[in-house]
């Protein structure tokens, strides 16, 4: 295992023990007219779904709180530094130090994307340096960011095979899908099992 992998394993162990809050951050996009994912059809059939209106994108800026497996997503029409800084403000609200919240170190894992490394974002991260540590991933290693698996799940299982009337409709669907995904991931594994006598 390389150095980055060992560091990530250590951080996960600390988060599992409750010593730190470990957040994985990243961005993705959802489409009002997404590509078909894993569909069956007769050989030679043309797989198409009628799509209303113009195709549009909605940017998803997300955080995975690793220990409880909680996904937070902020949607936007763009993926700019200002959008990422707005996500940092959500971190302030949910995890930032307050009088009645125990101070626990917070580690935010990020890639070196332009919106994470811009001057504005660096300044916003520096303002939070007393309680928020950034762990930078090596370049071109999306497999080290645990949120990538959730983006894939969200798109392939919750947003696939449907079209949306516009960005607002897609935005609502994204937030509902995140809510459902969080319920699925946080459900006790034995909740739906009956015990045989």
CATH number of residue 90's parent domain: 3.30.420.10
SS3 of 128, please? Answer: coil
Q: Does residue 194 lie in a domain region?
A: no
Q: Does residue 197 lie in a domain region?
A: no
Q: Enter the pTM of the model.
A: 0.83
Q: Does residue 46 lie in a domain region?
A: no
Q: Does residue 48 lie in a domain region?
A: no
Q: Does residue 154 lie in a domain region?
A: yes
- φ/ψ of residue 89, rounded to 5: -65, -30
Q: Does residue 103 lie in a domain region?
A: yes
CA distances from 45 to 40, 119, 135, 160 (A): 10, 50, 47, 19
SS3 of 123, please? Answer: helix
The yes-or-no verdict on residue 189 having pLDDT over 60 is: no
CA distances from 101 to 44, 65, 95, 107 (A): 60, 17, 8, 17
The yes-or-no verdict on residue 100 having pLDDT over 80 is: no
% of the chain residues with pLDDT over 70: 86
CA-nearest of 183, 185, 160, 168 to 38 is 160
CA-nearest of 134, 136, 147 to 108 is 134
Q: Does residue 60 lie in a domain region?
A: yes
Given pLDDT bands bounded at 50, 70 and 90, which one contains residue 148?
Answer: very high
* Residue range of the domain that includes 25: 3-33+54-186
Q: What residues contact residue 58 under an 8 Å CB cut-off, 6+ apart?
A: 29, 30, 31, 32, 75, 76, 77, 167, 170, 171, 174
pLDDT digits (tens, 9 = 90+) for 16-42: 999 999 999 999 999 887 766 666 778
State the angle between helix axes of 81-95 and 119-127 in degrees (0 to 180), rounded to the nearest 10: 10
Q: Does residue 192 lie in a domain region?
A: no
Distance between the two ends of the chain, CA-based, in angstroms? 46
Rounded to an integer, what distance in angstroms lies between the CA atom of residue 38 and that of residue 35?
A: 10
The yes-or-no verdict on residue 175 having pLDDT over 70 is: yes
Q: State mean pLDDT over 50-62.
A: 83
Report the number of distinct structural domains present in the chain: 1
pLDDT at 17: 92
């Amino acid at each position: 295992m390389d150095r980055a992998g060992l560091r990530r394993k250590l951080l996960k162990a600390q988060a599992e023990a409750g010593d730190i809050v470990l957040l994985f951050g990243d961005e993705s996009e959802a489409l009002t007219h997404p590509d078909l994912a894993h569909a069956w059809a007769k050989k030679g059939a043309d797989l198409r779904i009628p799509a209303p209106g113009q195709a549009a994108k909605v940017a998803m800026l997300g955080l995975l709180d690793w220990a409880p497996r909680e996904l937070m997503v902020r949607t936007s029409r763009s993926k700019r530094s200002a959008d990422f800084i707005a996500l940092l403000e959500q971190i302030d609200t949910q995890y930032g130090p307050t009088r009645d919240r125990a101070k626990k170190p917070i580690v935010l894992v990020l890639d070196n994307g332009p919106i994470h490394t811009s001057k504005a974002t660096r300044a916003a991260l520096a303002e939070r340096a007393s309680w928020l540590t950034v762990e930078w991933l090596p370049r071109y290693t999306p497999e080290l960011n645990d949120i990538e698996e959730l983006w894939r799940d969200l798109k392939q299982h919750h947003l696939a095979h449907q079209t949306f009337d516009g960005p607002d409709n897609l935005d609502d669907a994204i937030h509902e899908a995140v809510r459902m995904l969080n319920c699925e991931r946080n459900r006790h594994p034995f909740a739906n099992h009956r015990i045989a006598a």
